[in-house]
Amino acid sequence: MSEIAADSKSPLFDTRGMAYREFPSDFSKIRYYTLILVSSAPPRIKEFNLLEQQISEIIKNGIAHGNKNDPRKFLKIWYDFTREYAHLIVEDEGEGFREIKAWNEFNRRRLDCIDRGDVEGIMNFISFRTQKSSEKDGGNALFAALEYWNGGLVFNDKLNAVAVKKVFDPVPEVPPGFKPWDLNQPV
Ligand SMILES: Nc1ncnc2c1ncn2[C@@H]1O[C@H](COP(=O)(O)OP(=O)(O)OP(=O)(O)O)[C@@H](O)[C@H]1O
Ligand SMILES: [Mg+2]
């Protein structure tokens, strides 16, 4: 996936069966909110730390870019974590990701440089910035997010909610009686 789409009709916006919470826009509590969400995941979920980090970036964007850190504005979050996938929808009360077209163009040119091995060119595409970006914004979290959320990363039509899905690689079943030191056993 190399583009961020805007499509409220995406199946990723189907909230049926998902857990739901609301959080006020307190930037200092982002890791705490994230942990509340991921603690609902089954034990030993894959790459827990990476998952937590990616969720926190989405929450950070909702609080900072969407709700402008206004504590009276809330995030609405739907979430569902299983051993097979992680699915999350984060909606804020902001104006939406107005620069989505510019971001896609920026990312397209960035990926072109990477494909060509054009290291100097990549230097021009390290950080996506808008007039509203603050000094604290790295301008790069969504590049990795698009790669990480391999089941999709899509905004709604209003551009103030993002739905993401990560599909985990299946964990191979260990056959009964499996002995790792027995070379004749299938792995
Ligand atoms: N919920 C949102 N509402 C409005 N704009 C958003 C939202 N989420 C993302 N954006 C836009 O996407 C851009 C890129 O986001 P990204 O997370 O990659 O970078 P950043 O937030 O500026 O910096 P950082 O790398 O520190 O997260 C932001 O500059 C912002 O314009
Ligand atoms: Mg961000």
Domain boundaries, the chain: 5-100+139-167
Query: If you average pLDDT over residues 114-132, what whole number do you get?
Result: 93
Tell me, what's the pLDDT at 25? 98
Q: Which ligand 1 atom sits closest to the C-alpha of 145?
A: 18
State pLDDT tens for residues 62-119.
999 999 999 999 999 999 999 999 999 999 999 999 999 999 999 999 999 999 999 9
DSSP string, 79-141: EEE-SSEEEEEEE-SSS--TTHHHHHHHHHHHHHHHHHT-HHHHGGGS----TT--TT--S-H
5-100+139-167 CATH: 3.30.565.10
**Residue 173 Cα, ligand 2 centroid: separation in angstroms?**
37
Structure tokens at 169: 């690689």
- Nearest CA among 126, 53, 109, 117 for reference residue 86: 53
The secondary structure of residue 13, as a DSSP letter, is G
- Can you tell me which atom of ligand 1 is nearest the CA of 162? 1
**Which pLDDT band holds residue 45 (cuts at 50, 70, 90)?**
confident
Identify the residues whose C-beta falls under 6 Å from ligand 1.
Answer: 57, 60-62, 65-66, 92, 94, 96-97, 99, 103, 128, 130, 133, 137-142
- Which ligand 1 atom sits closest to the C-alpha of 92? 1
- pLDDT at 187 exceeding the cut of 90: no
Residues near ligand 2 ion, CB 5 Å cutoff: 61, 141
